[in-house]
């Protein structure tokens, strides 16, 4: 089974801090994705990557950046955290057609 691991389940950060969310997959998949999940809004795509050092903006990239230096690791960066970035963040890897999700990071910005 594919394993997608997000390093933190819960994070509390202060407004203005730079925040790193890490995601690692163990199956050499090329495509990886970052979504945020908010009640009533579903899952919205922030950024995705289809190869090392390759990245594309999703539907809501403002305030975020990403890094993919190695195939297995895809990091989401909040350059200057704001309270409206309080959310559940889900990373996904794509083994074939569907996604395998990580367990999520619930980020609270205070």
Partner 1 sequence: GENVEQHPSTLSVQEGDSAVIKCTYSDSASNYFPWYKQELGKRPQLIIDIRSNVGEKKDQRIAVTLNKTAKHFSLHITETQPEDSAVYFCAARGGGTSYGKLTFGQGTILTVHP
Binding site for partner 1 (CB under 8 A): 31, 33, 35, 40-45, 48, 50, 56, 58-59, 90, 94, 97-104
Q: Compare residues 48 and 81 and give the one whose CB is closer to partner 1.
A: 48
- The distance of closest approach from Cβ of residue 53 to partner 1 in the complex, given in angstroms and rounded to an integer, is 14
Q: Compare residues 14 and 28 and give the one whose CB is closer to partner 1.
A: 28
Ranges of H-type helices in 1-110 = none
DSSP collapsed to 3 states, 66-81: EEEEECCEEEEEECCC
Tokens in use for 21?
Answer: 């969310």
Q: Compare residues 17 and 56 and give the one whose CB is closer to partner 1.
A: 56
Query: Rounded distance, CA 49 to CA 32, Å?
Result: 5
């Amino acid at each position: 089974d594919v394993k997608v691991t997000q390093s933190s389940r819960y994070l509390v950060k202060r407004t203005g801090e730079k925040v790193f969310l890490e995601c690692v997959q163990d199956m050499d998949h090329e495509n990886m994705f970052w979504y945020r999940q908010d009640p009533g809004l579903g899952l919205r795509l922030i950024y995705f990557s289809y190869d090392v050092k390759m990245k594309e903006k999703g539907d809501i990239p403002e305030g975020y950046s990403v890094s993919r230096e190695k195939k297995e690791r895809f990091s989401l960066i909040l350059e200057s955290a704001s309270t409206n970035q309080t959310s559940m963040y889900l990373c996904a890897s794509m083994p074939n057609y569907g996604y395998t999700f990580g367990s999520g990071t619930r980020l609270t910005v205070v």
